[in-house]
Amino acid sequence: MEGGGSYHRMPKVRIREMKDDYLKFELRETDASMANALRRVMLAEVPTIAIDLVEIEINSSVLNDEFIAHRLGLIPLVSDRAMEMRFSRDCDACDGDGQCQFCSVEFHLWARCESDQTLDVTSADLKSNDPLVQPVDVARAIDAAAAGGTLSSAVDSSDNRGIIIVKLRRGQELRLRAIARKGIGKDHAKWSPGATVTFMYEPDIHINEEMMESLTLDEKRQWIDSSPTKVFDIDPNTQQVVIVDPEAYTYDEEVIKKAEAMGKSGLVEIYAKEDSFIFTVESTGAVKAYQMLVNAIDVLRQKLDAVRYTEDADFHLLDEHMGGAAL
Amino acid sequence: MPSEGPYVYAAPIYVDVEYSIGSQSHKSIEKKERVLIGRMPIMLRSRLCTLNGKDEAELAKLGECPLDPGGYFVVKGAEKVILIQEQLSKNRIIIDSDSKGRIMASVTSSTAETKTKTVIFMEKEKIYLQLNQLKKKVPIVVIMKAMGMESDQEIVQMIGRDPRYSSLFIPSLQECAMMKIFTQRQALEYLGEMVSMGKTSSDPSVKVEKACELLLNVFLANVPVKQGNFRPKCIYVAVMLRRMVDAVLNADTFDDKDYVGNKRLELSGQLISLLFEDLFKNMNNDILLAFDKSFDKRSRSNPPNFIKYIFPDTITKGLEKPISTGNWDLKRFKMHRKGVSQVLSRLSFIAALGYMTKVSPQFEKTRKVSGPRALQPSQWGMLCPCDTPEGEGCGLTKNLALMTHVTTDDEEGPLIYLCYTLGVEDLELLSAEELHSPNSYLVIFNGLILGKHRRPQYFSNAVRRLRRSGKIGEFVSVFVNEKQRCVYLASDGGRVCRPLVIADKGVSRIKDHHMKELQDGVRSFNDFLREGLLEYLDVNEENNALIALYEGEATEKTTHIEIEPFTILGVCAGLIPFPHHNQSPRNTYQCAMGKQAMGNIAYNQLCRMDTLLNLLVYPQRPLLTTKTIELIGFDKLGAGQNATVAVMSYSGYDIEDAIVMNKSSLDRGFGRCIVMKKYSVKQETYQNNTSDRIVRPQMEIVKGELRLDPKMQILDADGIASPGEIIRPHNIYVNRQSPKCTRGESSKLLDSDYRPSPATFHGIEGETTVIDRVALCTDIDNKLCIKFLVRHTRRPEVGDKFSSRHGQKGVCGTIVQQEDFPFSERGICPDLIMNPHGYPSRMTIGKMIELLGGKAGVSCGRFHYGSAFGEPSGHADRVEAISDTLVKHGFSYSGKDFIYSGITGCPLQAYIFMGPIYYQKLKHMVIDKMHARARGPKVMLTRQPTEGRSRDGGLRLGEMERDCLIAYGASMLLFERLMVSSDPYEAKVCKKCGLLGYYNHKLKTPYCTMCKNRDNISSMKLPYACKLLFQEMQSMNIVPRLQLTED
């Protein structure tokens, strides 16, 4: 920023693609710190609900108690409630016991194999005491059932058997009580709502058309093929090199190296636009992808508020430093 | 499944006994069938083992793992491996020079009766014989004469009339003539004089007899003497002499002791058969003695019956004990070996497998010689070039290669007969002159000279043809030695050999249709062998073969083609992907480290009761596999996980091979392991028939309330901790009580006669351990033994050791949150970060290719291969092909990615080499090793802090550290470390006599025992160890006096 210019800006978000568990959007007119803060918060600080305490009554399966508890913890639960829920560590209702309705959800599981066939104990066997908090795959099956078709068919369909917890053989039994609590990804990855949260700088590609024209069709094709991803192509009509998908470019500089090797340095110039980012967010299902973004912004704002309203903090210097524009 | 106890996996040995009763006149033959003479330990998965030939389902039903290699014994509840013993071959002439530079020819003869060593050496141009039974060296010509070769001419003819040979032999002849020994009688008398065994007698006939016996049974004992005919022995000596003289003329003809063809590997079968033979003979002797004793007391009503003197215990115990202790002591065979058997290490599947292929050396490990440690060219394909330990055993302890076969003894008689029918001329029919006639070769069978053959090539080809057609054993080897003009046949046990594809004029006998049949399962390896498509060659016969590595490289002269080049490596080295791209020592390091990797041990691992068991929670099969991995089943019992590795520097906590780990990966189960430890408690019984008892936990009254001692919370009503309970340090897991009185008479014991002797758990503080299983059993002394398997699940922490498969070990340097980890725009975030400085000096290119191949593997969904030298045969993917796959899936051909910093969100300056590498978690974990103390226990004697982690000991400030402090001048620190924090002691010293006094508590004053008064005593501080030294010196009549000054 020249001349101590303003840090104040109004980022713009344009959503490109949105599904329950997938979101692709552009973030423009801001810088890497903002984009990264958003990414980090989505990964580590958007709260979700996950199983945190397991009391095992009977376990005669092949997996030991800790093993099962660990597996249970990693099952994503629908966490739309998570933002309103309390952290059990600062829940007044239960004195930090973490077992009250405000800060926890109770699950029960009881499975016993009576047949000669191996019984798969899955997330569908987890019985919740809160209909809003379910394993995500179960919730999806219920939604599918509500939309049409029966519940049982959706649960039993081969591609949606739920997340396997353990397999039981004849006579083995598993019986347990599990408490799910609110938490954040910083404490344990099981509370992270994001499977993938990543962004890239939008590339800015300039082809030197004049120089490009000096290439033969064969050379053009060679040059295009040098890129591991399909960024360029040849227009079948004009036989000109066109940019098909600039975002496919992975900043590998292969095309630039190729151009140099062909003796045509400066054939193409590629820069990263420093103020626009393309985000890809995939959710575990615990929080819908767009909700994750909204929650992340919320959390980020709360964090900033916490800084802003801290009484003894001296913001005067900071204000000065930032040209008096911020805050 | 073994678990410490009296259990031995053994089978009864039954014999049919036939004996005659009565005097000479009326003899009656009695028979008794199926008499038990002992029990023989059975090797698991051997032909006699019940598990032999069982398929996977049957094994599963028996609770056994189908991938278990077998090959070990179960003795006294422990799994024992009898290691393969390496030895110099028996009954062979070895030409060598000793430390004084004398040329010598030695033969270690081993027969059913005895084992002797014959050495013929040359000293000052004269040739002598040396035997352990001789007082001093004896000229060899005397021996020849003693064996009936009285004519000097004949002797010379036998060695060779060539003037070069005869001139070298003349001094020996002269010496004999000087000694005035011309006849056999004279020679025998002289020899008898020299014999050190038996009684000395001046009687010439006794001497002759002794000499004859020596020549018959000790001298070259492996050469049979039929009806007093010593000629074969004479010829044998002549051949030895000729080879010695050859060695004098041409130094090339020395035998190499390190040459694998001159070595024999002794397997457990041979070792046990030696043991059994010895024990059986002992048993027969014992029976004879016992029977003789009872024969004198016989009566009509009590006829002697020797069957009842057969005690099976002699053999049963005699076999069990050596296997369980590893001490093979056989007087008859002069064998005193220690450490022959070892406990099978079940740390990992690979460790157990590696034990089976281990060859223990013939020399003691302390010898500082380089020759036997060096890699021998003849080890090719037989012994693994990579798998050897570091340090003292380096190069001595070896491991078998993947396809090595060790032969067992084959019957000699029919083969000897066969040789004669194939045109071998018997020695008896030959004159001395003909022995070395230029147009014929000697035929030597198992070290025995059979005769000679005029057409050696024809003869050897005939034997080979018979072997390929299956008429004689597949492990019989023929080897034409052009230099020595000999044909060697061998059928003895212990030779190492390997299978090769036979080629006729460079064309492989295995055609495509054979391979198709093999793939369809119609044909097996043994069919190939039986039909003469493959054959086993031992190291010697390999010298007659021209082996092509690949079929395409074969020429007209090629006789064999290698099956697969990766089989030159053993099982441990076989796990390494692309080992041929690595620096050699790295592969060696990995061979040692693969055995420490945690993973699955066997399918039945959770039913076992091992003292220590390390399991990985989510073991994976490597993305980059090798053929060996598939052959041994490592893909089913993995010991590691495919981690996405970024090769970059991060945070500074990655220096010196440390790795940075992603916390989220750890949360999700990367590197998580289960450690199971066994604790056992015995219910002791005492002399007076009293015994410990285990009682239900007692309630105690605290503040008027009845409650359970918190230490006993995990106990069941039977006084034993129950499975599934969380056990913490100081918890009681068996509520045991012992009788107060364990000697003398025992009466009815009351509750008050017992004192508590509970078993208290001493685990690591802060570790949550759980009782996994409890087993009750009786042990060897019939006492109740309670075994607890305590389980602890550990997630990786800073300081835990990890390693890739390329000898690159490192500890976890720090654990970083996922959001701080670098990420790619695809959202890939590494599991761990490795510092690039690990590469330049180690030159592990294989690891780089593994990363590339693994990355291509995950993107295209096909497991990639990296077998050793596998590129030409398609068992390893080429880097070019891997790069093409990568590019096809939108990655850079180089495996490098464009990566953003997780901390700032800015792109990193460099492209980062990132992809999956198979990482092993090694058994060394900080939690087992970390140790610190502020205060703690002290040793009674010196009052200084204890030593060692197990005793919660102090950390020693040693001599060198002390030197540093002195040099620095930190005297107060020194004082504090060495005295205040160690063993300060307030001593009373008499100022007058300078000796130590003491504080008299009755008089309440210090007192000097020397001066017998209480004046002049002052008090000073000194280390207790110092005071102890003074007193110890006083006890030796040395008076240390302290001179005190006031200040």
CB contacts < 8 A (A, B): 97
* pLDDT reported for residue A3: 43
| Digit-coded pLDDT (tens) for B107-166 | 888 887 778 888 888 888 888 888 888 888 888 888 888 888 888 888 888 887 788 888
CB contact under 8 A, A64 and B893: no
Contacts of A202 by beta carbon, 8 Å cutoff, 6+ apart: A26, A246, A247, A272, A273, A276, A277, A278
Side chain identity at A291, as an amino acid letter? Q
Nearest alpha carbon to residue A193 among A79, A92, A313, A300: A79
Interface residue B413 vs chain A (CB under 8 A) = no
Interface residue A251 vs chain B (CB under 8 A) = yes
* pLDDT reported for residue B220: 85
Residue whose structure tokens are 């590498």: B917
Nearest alpha carbon to residue B90 among B217, B218, B221: B221
Q: Which residues does residue A180 pair with via DSSP β-bridges, in sequence order?
A: A51, A105
Interface residue A200 vs chain B (CB under 8 A) = yes
Q: From A229, which residue of chain B is nearest by alpha-carbon distance? A: B890
CB contact under 8 A, A228 and B724: no
Of B818, B827, B898, the CB nearest to A280: B827
| CA B940/CA B200 separation, integer angstroms | 62
Least Cα separation, residue A145 to chain B (angstroms): 31
Q: How many helices (H) and strands (E) does chain A have?
A: 9, 12
Mean of the pLDDT values across residues A73-98? 83
Measured between beta carbons, which residues in chain A are less than 8 angstroms from residue B668?
A: 74, 189
Q: Using alpha carbons only, what angle is made at residue B932 by residues B926 and B933, rounded to the nearest 5 degrees?
A: 155
Contact B906, B900 (CB under 8 A): yes
Measured between beta carbons, which residues in chain B are less than 8 angstroms from residue A251?
A: 898, 907
Chain A interface test: which of B613, B667, B912 (most A C-beta within 10 Å):
B667
Measured between beta carbons, which residues in chain B are less than 8 angstroms from residue A66?
A: 674, 770, 791, 793
CB contact under 8 A, A32 and B826: no
Interface residue B893 vs chain A (CB under 8 A) = yes
User: DSSP class of residue B1028?
Assistant: H
Name all domains of chain B by residue range, CATH numbers in brackets.
10-86+265-344 (no CATH), 94-254 (3.90.1110.10), 405-562 (3.90.1070.20), 580-609+617-672+797-921 (2.40.270.10), 674-794 (2.40.50.150), 949-1034 (3.90.1800.10)
DSSP A294-312: HHHHHHHHHHHHHHHT-TT
| Structural tokens at position B912 | 């980062």
Mean of the pLDDT values across residues A87-114? 83
3-class DSSP string for B834-879 = ECHHHCCCCCCHHHHHHHHHHHHHHHHCCCEEECCCCCCCCCECCH
Q: Are strands B398-399 and B358-360 parallel, antiparallel or unpaired?
A: antiparallel
Interface residue A254 vs chain B (CB under 8 A) = yes
3-class DSSP string for B577-632 = CCHHHCCHHHHHHHHHHHHHECECCCCCHHHCCCCEEEEECCCCCCCEECHHHHHH
Continuous H helices in chain A:
32-44, 65-73, 136-147, 151-156, 209-213, 217-225, 254-261, 289-308, 316-321
Average pLDDT, chain A: 84
Q: From A231, which residue of chain B is nearest by alpha-carbon distance? A: B890
Side chain identity at A212, as an amino acid letter? M
- How far does chain A reach from its first CA to its final CA, in angstroms? 18
Measured between beta carbons, which residues in chain A are less than 8 angstroms from residue B672?
A: 70
Instruction: Quote the percentage of chain A above a pLDDT of 90.
Output: 41
pLDDT band at A2 (very low <50, low <70, confident <90, very high): very low
Q: From A59, which residue of chain B is nearest by alpha-carbon distance? A: B724
Measured between beta carbons, which residues in chain A are less than 8 angstroms from residue B60?
A: none
CB contact under 8 A, B827 and A70: no
* pLDDT reported for residue A4: 46
CB contact under 8 A, A59 and B772: no
Could you give the C-alpha distances from A92 to A99, A102, A317, in angstroms and in order? 11, 9, 38
User: DSSP class of residue B376?
Assistant: P
Chain A interface test: which of B604, B673, B816, B825 (most A C-beta within 10 Å):
B825
| CA B187/CA B180 separation, integer angstroms | 9
CB contact under 8 A, B827 and A198: yes
Q: Which helix (H) or strand (E) covers residue A206, if one does?
A: strand A194-207
Of B817, B827, B906, the CB nearest to A196: B827
pLDDT band at A326 (very low <50, low <70, confident <90, very high): very low
| CA B847/CA B645 separation, integer angstroms | 11
| CA B95/CA B486 separation, integer angstroms | 15
B13 CB-contact burial (10 Å; exposed 0-12 / middle 13-18 / buried 19+) = middle
Q: From A67, which residue of chain B is nearest by alpha-carbon distance? A: B617
Q: Does domain A48-188 have CATH number 3.30.565.10?
A: no
Is the overall model pTM greater than 0.80, yes or no? yes
Interface residue B770 vs chain A (CB under 8 A) = yes
| CA B141/CA B174 separation, integer angstroms | 9
* pLDDT reported for residue A1: 40
Catalytic choice (B96, B256, B286, B657): B657
CB contact under 8 A, B819 and A39: yes
CB contact under 8 A, B827 and A272: no
Least Cα separation, residue B724 to chain A (angstroms): 8
Least Cα separation, residue A56 to chain B (angstroms): 9
Contact B770, B792 (CB under 8 A): yes
DSSP B186-206: HHHHHHHHHB-SS-----HHH
CB contact under 8 A, A282 and B827: yes
ipTM comes to 0.89
Least Cα separation, residue A324 to chain B (angstroms): 24
Q: From A73, which residue of chain B is nearest by alpha-carbon distance? A: B668
Contacts of B531 by beta carbon, 8 Å cutoff, 6+ apart: none
CB contact under 8 A, A70 and B617: yes
Annotation marks residue B877 as catalytic: no
* pLDDT reported for residue A159: 56
| CA B349/CA A59 separation, integer angstroms | 27
Least Cα separation, residue A132 to chain B (angstroms): 25
Q: Which helix (H) or strand (E) covers residue B414, if one does?
A: helix B413-421
Q: Say how many CA atoms lie within 13 Å of B346 toward its Cβ.
A: 26
Q: Are strands B754-756 and B736-739 parallel, antiparallel or unpaired?
A: antiparallel
Measured between beta carbons, which residues in chain A are less than 8 angstroms from residue B824?
A: 198
User: DSSP class of residue B725?
Assistant: -
A214 CB-contact burial (10 Å; exposed 0-12 / middle 13-18 / buried 19+) = exposed
User: What average pLDDT values come out for chain B (1047 residues) when binned by 10 residues?
Assistant: 65 87 74 87 90 88 89 89 90 85 86 82 86 84 83 82 82 84 82 74 75 82 82 85 84 83 90 90 87 74 73 88 89 82 90 92 71 89 93 89 92 89 83 79 88 89 90 90 88 92 89 89 88 91 91 89 92 94 94 92 89 92 93 91 95 92 94 92 85 84 79 87 89 89 74 85 83 87 88 93 94 94 92 94 94 94 93 92 92 91 92 95 91 91 92 91 95 93 91 88 86 86 94 94 84
Measured between beta carbons, which residues in chain B are less than 8 angstroms from residue A40?
A: 819, 902
The maximal CA–CA distance of chain B, rounded, in angstroms, is 113
Contact B39, B10 (CB under 8 A): yes
Q: How many helices (H) and strands (E) does chain B have?
A: 24, 54
CB contact under 8 A, B672 and A70: yes
* pLDDT reported for residue A315: 62
Residue whose structure tokens are 């008689």: B413
Of A36, A186, A250, the CB nearest to B904: A36
Measured between beta carbons, which residues in chain A are less than 8 angstroms from residue B827?
A: 195-198, 280, 282
